[in-house]
């Protein structure tokens, strides 16, 4: 099948992480729509790609969608790229793609690098299920709402280095300082770094070390059998009805569910 429009994944850091097919497609098209022509030009110069560049970002996407549609109607071929990774994954492009589908333009996607899948392949998980929320909201209440919504699912998000510490502190406040998380930065680059630890330790690490580069993070899912206050109180009430003392209750629940004994004892007394 002959296509007129291509969605092309580009490297997320290391410029060598691009497929032969992606290079061939970019060399064959007449135009490349991109977020920032300065960024994309680095890639096109490296691979001797001669296509003309069109800036198409979140502030002008609607306007440029019409221009690109006109080019396609003139039998020109166009590719869409983002600054890094796969277009339309927390990057501009959705408005353009919607316009093209509405006008029956044949579209295909050239797969390649994506920060989410690169990150997930690096961190251990007990199950394949995860929720990707894109860039996490900046407002604290909105963060709490979305993290609570996915508290029983591995929750993956993007964050900027200048906001990461505030987000980590919010995670600690919401889930406690022992909450397990994973944070990666500079994926595929020289200073790639992946940290998997309790949130308190990652906060300490980044308060003492330079924090630069694009961030991908994961808040590990809470086991539904775990220590939610409602869960603990249900068990406490069952044992109370059986006549166990506060001391025995805290010892039993602590052993069975690996929950801090002092926390359970305080809940029994309160």
Same domain assignment for residues 169 and 234:
no
Do residues 220 and 130 touch, judged by C-beta distance below 8 A? no
Q: How high is the pLDDT of residue 29?
A: 98
We report the CATH number of the domain holding residue 59 as 3.40.1010.10
Q: Is residue 224 part of a domain?
A: no
pLDDT for 36 beyond 90:
yes
Q: How high is the pLDDT of residue 17?
A: 97
pLDDT for 119 beyond 90:
yes
Domain residue limits at 238: 229-269
User: 177, 198, 219: which is the final residue of a domain?
Assistant: 219
Confidence of residue 226 (pLDDT cuts 50, 70, 90): low
pLDDT for 60 beyond 80:
yes
Same domain assignment for residues 235 and 200:
no
Number of domains in the chain: 3
Over range 192-213, report the average pLDDT.
96
Same domain assignment for residues 109 and 120:
no
We report the CATH number of the domain holding residue 194 as 3.30.950.10
Do residues 114 and 12 touch, judged by C-beta distance below 8 A? yes
Same domain assignment for residues 9 and 86:
yes
User: 83, 113, 143: which is the final residue of a domain?
Assistant: 113
Same domain assignment for residues 109 and 17:
yes
Same domain assignment for residues 243 and 157:
no
Confidence of residue 120 (pLDDT cuts 50, 70, 90): very high
E strand map for the chain: 5-8, 31-34, 52-55, 78-80, 107-110, 130-135, 154-159, 180-185, 193-198, 215-219
Strands 78-80 and 52-55: unpaired
Same domain assignment for residues 9 and 108:
yes
Do residues 72 and 44 touch, judged by C-beta distance below 8 A? no
Tell me the pLDDT tens digit for each residue of 84-94.
999 999 999 99
Percentage of residues in the chain having pLDDT higher than 90: 81
Over range 153-173, report the average pLDDT.
97
Confidence of residue 255 (pLDDT cuts 50, 70, 90): confident
Q: Is residue 140 part of a domain?
A: yes
Diameter of the chain by CA atoms? 83
Q: Is residue 133 part of a domain?
A: yes
Over range 202-223, report the average pLDDT.
93
Confidence of residue 210 (pLDDT cuts 50, 70, 90): confident
Same domain assignment for residues 18 and 96:
yes
pLDDT for 105 beyond 70:
yes
Same domain assignment for residues 136 and 87:
no
Same domain assignment for residues 109 and 15:
yes
φ, ψ for residue 32, nearest 5 deg: -125, 120
Same domain assignment for residues 11 and 109:
yes
User: Of the candidates 119, 134, 191, 200, which has an alpha carbon nearest to the alpha carbon of residue 165?
Assistant: 200
User: 70, 89, 113: which is the final residue of a domain?
Assistant: 113
**Which tokens sit at 220?**
């590990």
| Residue 260 DSSP symbol | -
pLDDT for 185 beyond 70:
yes
What global pTM score does this model have? Answer: 0.80
Q: How high is the pLDDT of residue 225?
A: 55
φ, ψ for residue 88, nearest 5 deg: 75, 0
User: Of the candidates 209, 203, 159, 201, which has an alpha carbon nearest to the alpha carbon of residue 184?
Assistant: 159
Q: How high is the pLDDT of residue 10?
A: 97
């Amino acid at each position: 099948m002959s296509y007129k429009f291509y969605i092309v994944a580009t490297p997320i850091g290391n410029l060598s992480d691009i497929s032969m097919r992606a290079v061939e497609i970019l060399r064959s098209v007449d135009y490349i729509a991109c977020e920032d022509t300065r960024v994309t030009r680095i890639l096109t110069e490296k691979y001797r790609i001669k296509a003309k560049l069109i800036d198409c970002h979140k502030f002008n996407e609607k306007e440029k969608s019409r221009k690109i549609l006109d080019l396609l109607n003139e039998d020109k071929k166009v590719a869409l790229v983002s600054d890094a990774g796969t277009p339309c994954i927390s990057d501009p492009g959705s408005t353009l793609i919607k316009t093209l589908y509405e006008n029956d333009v044949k579209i295909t996607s050239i797969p390649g690098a994506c920060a989410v899948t690169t990150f997930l392949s690096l961190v251990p998980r007990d199950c394949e299920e995860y929720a990707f929320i894109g860039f996490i909201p900046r407002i604290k209440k909105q963060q709490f709402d979305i993290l609570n919504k996915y508290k029983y699912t591995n929750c993956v998000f993007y964050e900027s280095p200048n906001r990461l510490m505030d987000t980590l502190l919010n995670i600690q406040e919401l889930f406690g300082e022992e909450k397990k998380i994973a944070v990666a930065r500079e994926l595929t680059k020289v200073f790639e770094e992946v940290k998997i630890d309790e949130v308190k330790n990652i906060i300490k690490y980044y308060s003492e070390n330079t924090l630069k580069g694009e961030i991908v993070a994961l808040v590990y899912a809470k086991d539904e059998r775990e220590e939610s206050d409602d869960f603990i109180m249900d068990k406490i009430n069952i044992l109370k009805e059986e006549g166990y003392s506060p001391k025995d209750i805290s010892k039993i629940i602590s052993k069975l569910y690996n929950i801090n004994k002092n926390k359970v004892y305080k809940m029994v007394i309160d």
